[in-house]
Structure 1
Amino acid sequence: MLNLRFQDQTSLDIGRKEDRPNIKRLFIMLSPIRIIYHPDTIYDPRLVLNNAESIKKECVWYSREIDPQNDTPWVVMHWRVRAIFFENMELHDFPRDVQDISVYVTSEWGAADIELILDDVRMSTLDMANFRDSQEWFLFRHVEVEKIPEDPNSTVKLGYTAGFIVARCRVQRRIKYYVLNHVSIMLCLLVLSFSFFTFDPVWNLYRIGNAMTLLLVAVTFKLSVAGTLPPISYLTYLDKYIMGGMIYLIMLCVTFALISPWKDIPDKAEVIDRYVIRSMGAILITFHSMYALQFYIHTNKKINQMKRKDHIYLEQLAEGVPKRTKRIRIDNGGSEHDSDGLLESRC
């Protein structure tokens, strides 16, 4: 797995309904009359971004809104964070891989003091305009939010933590750069190997020498490509292609060495030479056909799955977005301000 660091701005609306009387509320019930609200007196959820390496900026504000399910007024704490997050990457499908970008939210309180639940009213969304790495990655539209409970098999006592709320989106690596700068170069080396057959079979020693030189070039190219990736314990699809090309060049060197005893018999050497060039050409075409088919089918499964999730997400977003309700912004001084629609941070 590769350790990925990415910068993201996350906006959270924190709240929970009261399920048990001994658990403090995150949403504070308000009476219909006007009251003076002081944030210092509210229950602090003590939320933590579990995979955040550093927080650059955060902003907290409060608002009063109406629960669309039962018309109950609530005080909602809004938390906007800009931070650098840590993520593990799987590179089996590199360079056409799909990666998760996740934000893990938990609390310093235990399960007896707080319960993290999913918001079943509002859908999570992405700000596509602020995505800066669009030249290298393609950002899918959907956002998945799930709750990860405590591990019952853990050695930690149950109830010590409140579990996690995970918000996850996906990105797909753009493959064009790697095709032009890696795959095409290796393909040129493999096609160039057929120029060895222009030498007369009598000069087989020169064939072996040129094949060995081309193999050393391929090894050097492999090492330069490996320098762009972290040291991982498995082969990516790009590694498999380059390794396949190196095996082909090794087979070519061995074949030239095996036909050396017939170099003094020109007629037989020419017949063997024709069989060799046809066999090596068939092997090269078969390798590229099987590789391209497996690469396309295997990587396309996850990409098509992400596209289906995008389609379902956009349909749900168009049908299930609740009506904008009037909110009352409550600043840190305790005063109230009328605001229509969604609130923006003014920190």
Structure 2
Amino acid sequence: MFHSKVSQHSGESNEPKTAQRDFSRKKSSSIVVNNPGLTLPAKKTNARVVRIRLAFIHIGEIDTLNEKYQADVYYEARWTEKRMNLNTLNLNPQDQQRLLVGDNSSVRVNELNPLVHWSPQLFIENGIGQIGEQDKWFTIKKITPRPDQVSTSVSMNVEVCEHRRLKGVFWEKLELNHFPADVQELTISITSHHHVEDCILVQDEHFRSIINREAFFDQQEWSLYEHVATEIRESNEEYSFDDENSSLRQRKHPVLAVACRAARRPGYYYWNGFCLIFLITVCAFCIFSISPDLPQSRLQITCTLLLTSVTFRWVVNRSLPQISYLTTLDIYAIISIMILVVLCVWHSIIASLNFLHPNPARLLQPKNYYVIMDRYVFYGLFGVYAIIHIVMFIWLFSVPYKRRREMNYLDREYAANKHIHLETRQSRYDSKYDLSFRRTSATFLDTLPLSTMKPTRQRRSSDGISVIPNTTTVVPIQEETNGVRVIIQGFRSYRDETVFEPFSQRYNIIVGRNGCGKSNFFFAIQFVLSDEFSNLSAEGRYNLMHEGINSRALNAYVEIIFDNSDSRIMIDKAEVAVRRQISGKKDNYFLDRKVVNKTDIINMLEGAGFSRSNPYYIVKQGKITQMATAPDANRLQLLREVAGTKVYDEKKQESEAILAETEERRKKIADLLKAIEERLLSLETEKEELKQYQKWDRSKRGLECAICTAECEDAKKRIDEIVARMNGATQKVEQLESDRLTVTELIQQTMDSITELKQRLQTQQIERETLIVDNKDNFQRKAQIELE
């Protein structure tokens, strides 16, 4: 249960709100409330306030069935330490001097002594499993003292920032009531081992929580929103109680939940779920075309469709977790199944009526009572089915899609606040000590990040060339990686594999004697990263390959390995290797030793902020001299192009052209308004005429209605008379039919009597003939006797 919460947008704050919670967890509402500060309860004024900013660097697969998702997150936790002793930080003299002398300067510390320094002891509450090891480090930033405050050489007020980056699997209770048109929150719940009396977790009001929408794995199934919501709540400590005032008091821990929202793309379920269920149910209404005296056919087809619908529902439910409530798809499937059950029951009823009250002579007639009843049941059920769909469409638009419209509104509001925040906090983004993760669609740096770690590859330095990092430049604090390397083999004067390292993240100087290959090194950079060698012929490729004394190199390649520890390049690797390899017949690009197209390399570099078409990303030899000796006007124009101010001149000219075009349109609109006013005067006259016409037209329609009413009454009377005569004729026909049946029965009885009499007559004739024969025999015997 959630006992209290504060819902707010990233970058905004609001007053605490107490919300009664049920047994189910509720999501943050992300209501934006303009409030300049955070109000803390009186009992928590002595607690340390920890400001947290979180960045979703990469979101992996969202597992709906198991209610979990994968993510790569980075978060910062800031708190203030008063009069921290610098001697307890194990700083080197340079870093300690930087903190003491510089204003708002910061240094990196790998760890803090937990016995000496306080820490928030943060952990992820809803984490299930961690992938790999998390990266953790601290930065110490000096807070500029006020005039009434004094800082000594050993203690000062500082801001401690804890940085963490981790990859893992996180649990999230999915709300599937509106599935498949649902919107889910992907939450990272950060909590502390401290109690709420000692520590309070809040959203950082200066640094906004962000999300990288491009690095989203399930973009085919989900649509990720841009805004990030936060929720402040407390969790109960179920296993520890304090005995105060002879009563048990349950202690609580602070929790800050940072959530991004993802909307499911419902098209797959609409076509493969709703559409198929709809077609199965509609087919059930086609059964009414079968005669009601064939119930075996009706019931067989309807039961088959019913079983098909039930089986299809079980197949769909395999992609959802076992939840105790119904989703939108479940409700629609159950309604369709109930419609099929009602149809089965009706077909059984009409079959029973036909069996109990048979009337074979008139069963198939259209005016039969059972046929009419069957027809009205079809109209009623089909109308109910249509009304259900209309209600469902209205509900979908009013409830699930309303939440999506609210999310889009929050995205627009978030983008507007972000734009205002960028304008007011531009110095923050220019700070070289802030490790922030931004969307790759926006370019904040002119070069890719570099590092100074030793490479794992075997190094072969070139003869006579040295790479000297600028040691006076302060390198931004960031994760330690293997660093940037440039590897050349077979290109121009580099016959063997040559590795150039290390590189500073600010400036690097290439020095060496004449003819040692400095120019060829820069040619190699242009060979991979610019359009200088974009279209090479066979002869051009041979000219770039090394010409040895004994034999020419058969192929050549240049490979640049970039540091991708901040995931600026949209590849989930700490290092990204870009190689271009040429031979007499081939010119191939490789990305991490895999063959890719040139367009893929260009898109990847532009996504990271490196434009191959910008002529000032690589300054060629002689350009500095040309700029120094150029006239002031040309130099000013060149500086404006490099600084990007020429764009504003072009925009100014475009704006002036738009203003001129707008003025021309305004004049045309004025002329059009004048013509419209003249037209309105003529329309006023036509309006009066139209009113008169409408008046007489209403009178005409009233008279026509009266005439039609009278004609309808006469027609009804004639119809009633015809119906009465038809009823009388029907009765006569029925009486004659009854008489006909009676006469037919009498005729049949008479025919039976005649048949019986004929049979008796034949029998008597046979007996008569027998008697005659016997009589003749008797006469003959008598005559014989008399003669004797």
Local SS of the residue matching 1:9? strand
Q: Which amino acid aligns with 1:39?
A: E
Which of 100, 109, 114 is the aligned partner of 1:31?
100
Q: Which amino acid aligns with 1:91?
A: L
Which of 373, 376, 397 is the aligned partner of 1:272?
373
Local SS of the residue matching 1:16? strand
After TM superposition, give the deviation of residue 116 of structure 1 in Å. Answer: 2.6
Which of 243, 259, 265 is the aligned partner of 1:168?
259
For 1:254 and 1:178, the matched residues in 2 are separated by 30
- The structure number with the bigger radius of gyration is 2
For 2:284 and 2:185, the matched residues in 1 are separated by 40
After TM superposition, give the deviation of residue 43 of structure 1 in Å. Answer: 4.0
For 2:100 and 2:250, the matched residues in 1 are separated by 33
Local SS of the residue matching 1:246? helix
Q: Which amino acid aligns with 2:138?
A: Y
Contact 1:207 1:256 in 2 (8 A): yes
Q: Which amino acid aligns with 1:213?
A: T
Q: Does 1:346 align with 2:480?
A: yes
For 2:317 and 2:108, the matched residues in 1 are separated by 62
Q: Please give the per-residue CA displacement for 1:73-104, whole angstroms capped at 9, x wherever unaligned.
A: 63422111111111111111111111110101
Q: What's the counterpart of residue 221 of structure 1?
A: 312
Residues 207-218 of structure 1 correspond to what in structure 2 (within 5 A)? 207-218=298-309
Q: What's the counterpart of residue 75 of structure 2?
A: 12
After TM superposition, give the deviation of residue 281 of structure 1 in Å. Answer: 1.8
For 1:156 and 1:77, the matched residues in 2 are separated by 30
Q: What's the counterpart of residue 296 of structure 1?
A: 397
Q: What's the counterpart of residue 139 of structure 2?
A: 63
Which of 146, 164, 188 is the aligned partner of 2:231?
146
Contact 1:146 1:166 in 2 (8 A): yes
Local SS of the residue matching 2:67? strand
Q: Does 1:318 align with 2:419?
A: yes
Residues 169-248 of structure 1 correspond to what in structure 2 (within 5 A)? 169-248=260-339
Which of 121, 136, 152 is the aligned partner of 1:46?
121
Distance 1:292 1:344, change over 3 A: farther
Contact 1:328 1:337 in 2 (8 A): no
After TM superposition, give the deviation of residue 346 of structure 1 in Å. Answer: 3.2
Distance 1:227 1:328, change over 3 A: closer
For 2:206 and 2:145, the matched residues in 1 are separated by 8
Q: What's the counterpart of residue 26 of structure 1?
A: none
For 2:144 and 2:412, the matched residues in 1 are separated by 26
Which of 250, 255, 259 is the aligned partner of 2:341?
250
Q: What's the counterpart of residue 120 of structure 1?
A: 205
Q: Please give the per-residue CA displacement for 1:308-338, whole angstroms capped at 9, x wherever unaligned.
A: 211111111111132225345899xxxx982
Q: Please give the per-residue CA displacement for 1:187-219, whole angstroms capped at 9, x wherever unaligned.
A: 111111122122122212321221112111111
TM-score if structure 2 supplies the norm length? 0.39
After TM superposition, give the deviation of residue 150 of structure 1 in Å. Answer: 5.2
Distance 1:108 1:153, change over 3 A: closer
Distance 1:279 1:294, change over 3 A: same
For 1:159 and 1:221, the matched residues in 2 are separated by 49
Q: Does 1:284 align with 2:385?
A: yes
Percent identity, please.
Answer: 24
Q: Please give the per-residue CA displacement for 1:102-139, whole angstroms capped at 9, x wherever unaligned.
A: 10111223445544332110111001121111111110
For 1:88 and 1:36, the matched residues in 2 are separated by 38
Q: Which amino acid aligns with 2:408?
A: K
Bigger mean CA deviation after superposition, 257-266 or 170-179: 257-266
Q: What's the counterpart of residue 25 of structure 1?
A: none
Local SS of the residue matching 2:202? coil
For 1:318 and 1:230, the matched residues in 2 are separated by 40
Q: What's the counterpart of residue 24 of structure 1?
A: none
RCO higher in structure (CA 8 A, sep ≥6)? 1
Q: Does 1:87 align with 2:172?
A: yes
Pairwise CA RMSD of aligned residues? 3.6
Q: Which amino acid aligns with 2:175?
A: E
For 2:201 and 2:190, the matched residues in 1 are separated by 9
After TM superposition, give the deviation of residue 52 of structure 1 in Å. Answer: 0.9
Local SS of the residue matching 1:229? coil
Q: Which amino acid aligns with 1:178?
A: Y
Distance 1:208 1:111, change over 3 A: closer
Local SS of the residue matching 1:142? strand
For 2:315 and 2:136, the matched residues in 1 are separated by 47
Q: Please give the per-residue CA displacement for 1:17-64, whole angstroms capped at 9, x wherever unaligned.
A: 359x9xxxxxxx953369896734454432111111112231123335
Distance 1:289 1:257, change over 3 A: same
Bigger mean CA deviation after superposition, 240-249 or 308-317: 308-317
Distance 1:315 1:51, change over 3 A: same
Q: Which amino acid aligns with 1:346?
A: E
Distance 1:38 1:12, change over 3 A: closer
Distance 1:191 1:117, change over 3 A: closer
Distance 1:235 1:155, change over 3 A: farther
For 1:155 and 1:82, the matched residues in 2 are separated by 30
After TM superposition, give the deviation of residue 345 of structure 1 in Å. Answer: 3.1
After TM superposition, give the deviation of residue 161 of structure 1 in Å. Answer: 4.8
Contact 2:79 2:161 in 1 (8 A): no
Can you give the 5+ residue segments of structure 1 that lack an aligned partner in the other structure? 22-28
For 2:474 and 2:167, the matched residues in 1 are separated by 26
Contact 1:111 1:159 in 2 (8 A): no
For 1:279 and 1:171, the matched residues in 2 are separated by 41
For 2:404 and 2:276, the matched residues in 1 are separated by 26
Q: What's the counterpart of residue 305 of structure 1?
A: 406
Which of 185, 188, 191 is the aligned partner of 1:103?
188
Task: Specify which structure has the higher proportion of helix.
Answer: 2
After TM superposition, give the deviation of residue 166 of structure 1 in Å. Answer: 1.2
Contact 2:237 2:250 in 1 (8 A): no
Q: Does 1:74 align with 2:175?
A: no
Q: Which amino acid aligns with 2:474?
A: D
For 1:318 and 1:143, the matched residues in 2 are separated by 15
For 1:209 and 1:68, the matched residues in 2 are separated by 86
Distance 1:115 1:219, change over 3 A: closer
Q: Which amino acid aligns with 1:58?
A: Q
Contact 1:107 1:161 in 2 (8 A): no
Local SS of the residue matching 1:274? helix
Give the paired residue count. 337
Bigger mean CA deviation after superposition, 229-238 or 10-19: 10-19
Q: Please give the per-residue CA displacement for 1:266-303, whole angstroms capped at 9, x wherever unaligned.
A: 32233223222222221221121112221221102211
